[in-house]
Structure 1
């Protein structure tokens, strides 16, 4: 089974409070785009879960794809195992959600390969055990998220084009959440507010721009060509919506060689499409 787990963009990201356990309460809108990893899942009957490839420096047992498989293994037939061959294209530490997407792909793929017949709600519950961003990839469509990111409301799909730049640096999520300059008191909004097009922002963006001159340079690059730029997640990737995919490509001509970039389109139903609608 060949799957192409997609990256995500946060079209805005607000912190509206904090839970008693210290987790921040968020509001965000997720968009899935066609910047993808490649994951091949092969069945095996010896009970072994083997990872090949994957992100550099990530031990197999710490990898979300292996953890996702281990989460499902007790629900499968005796001896169920798999080989997971992961080719990374989505940059890590970029706020693009590549690791979460890969984990969601394993849950969706093994649910089918191992004939577990878990429904979407059960997969969402399992995905949340792996990370707050995993459920949106299981849902396969744009979503308005609240809580720690796990409360999802579907949004209408809109065909959009984006220029996306990863400026060759990574930002650790923990220090970003702990930064004293981070705004944590945004007024909550509703889905209707988001859909109305009211101006929204990413609260991590001022912090990221202060922490990294490379992120600031990438944002300036997009602003000079498309008139605006925005951080996704807690960084370090930045993006700008373009009028069409040709304009997105044009905005990325001549970027510095140490930046990764992609002219990307919004997508939906990525797993179903990879499986031919099955």
Structure 2
């Protein structure tokens, strides 16, 4: 049995906020409020931001260091911590330290993952013991991608991405390229030529190879550098877009094949090499920590 963390070591620990990939993304309709109805498959990647939570005595929520271009009050980790306090009446405070590795505007879910890690870990560290269902609802209020990171397992997603069911997909090695652009998701979903009426499919259709991304053509038209990255990646394996991008990725059966592609591509592109996993690294660490602490 794993040794349970002490309160002190739990607070000083670094907690992962992993990236996600959309292995498939279909737009099957649109709600009256403008939100698009999706079908997607999420898988996690062992490529993470890292969060450390420092207790403070004044009851305030703050960042140790702000992210350039993002006001502290707008940071999703701060908003998540304040939401926990508001929902529970918790009087505790925290200073949040973020080691930012996931690129912003890349479709890897970095901000959403940071928010989910904040909700999940502070729920433990502050001894709030809210059920996962409540955290999922809170996460959705912060953003459509937050729930999958709280869910913690590779998922078949529907609705706006919040209706989640476990799915098992191969845990392959992944090479990710980040083109030098920041895709405006709102711009893509507002585009007149975006496909919004794809036929719904079932899990077996995806497993048998139906892995289209309905945003791909529009993103490539608006951001030619994304199309260039896809073409370069396709020399090594099937290249795909995650979410609305800008990141593109390819999956490989072996580390050797993935590493070979990574070595050849990293000279031109910001590149990452990591393992795709079905269980979130955050929940793997929580299981290992055997965490059940009261503040």
Report how many aligned residue pairs link the two structures.
276
Do the aligned residues in 1 keep the contact of 2:19 with 2:110 (CA within 8 Å)?
A: yes
What is the CA–CA distance in structure 2 between the aligned matches of 1:22 and 1:241, rounded to whole Å? 33
Map 1:1-278 → 2, pairs under 5 A: 1-76=13-88, 79-195=91-207, 197-226=208-237, 228-255=238-265, 259-267=269-277, 268-275=279-286, 276-278=288-290
Q: Which runs of 5+ in 1 are unaligned?
A: none
Q: Deviations over 1:60-99 (max 9, x none)?
A: 1001000000000134565301010011110000111000
Distance in 1, matches of 2:261 and 2:184, equals 28
**TM-score, normalised via structure 2 length:** 0.89
C-alpha contact (below 8 Å) 2:81/2:118 kept by paired residues:
yes
State the distance in 1 between where 2:170 and 2:66 align.
31
Kept after mapping to 2: 8 A contact 1:167/1:258? no
Aligned 8 A contact 2:84 2:90 in 1: no
Partner Cα separation in structure 2 for residue 272 and residue 29 of structure 1: 19
Residue range with higher mean Cα deviation, 65-74 or 213-222: 213-222
Conservation of the 8 A alpha-carbon contact between 2:107 and 2:246: yes
Range with greater deviation from structure 2 (258-267 or 119-128):
258-267
Whether the 8 Å contact between 1:6 and 1:33 is mirrored in structure 2 is yes
| Alpha-carbon distance in 1 for matches of 2:235, 2:221 | 19
Q: Distance in 2 between matches of 1:192 and 1:54?
A: 44
Q: Compared with structure 1, are the counterparts of its residues 126 and 253 closer, same or farther at alpha carbon in structure 2 (3 Å cutoff)?
A: same
The two structures have a TM-score, normalised by structure 1, of 0.94
Q: Distance in 2 between matches of 1:180 and 1:165?
A: 27
What RMSD over aligned residues (CA atoms) do the two structures have, in Å? 1.6
What displacement does 1:250 show? 1.1
- Following the alignment from structure 2 to structure 1, what is the Cα–Cα distance between the partners of residues 182 and 268? 13
Deviation at 1:277, TM superposition (A): 4.4
Structure 2 unmatched ranges of 5 or more: 1-12, 291-295
Note the alpha carbon deviations across 1:111-145, whole angstroms, 9 max, x for none: 00100001111110110000010010011110000
Looking at structure 1, the residues matched to 267 and 211 of structure 2 have their Cα atoms a distance apart, in angstroms, of 31
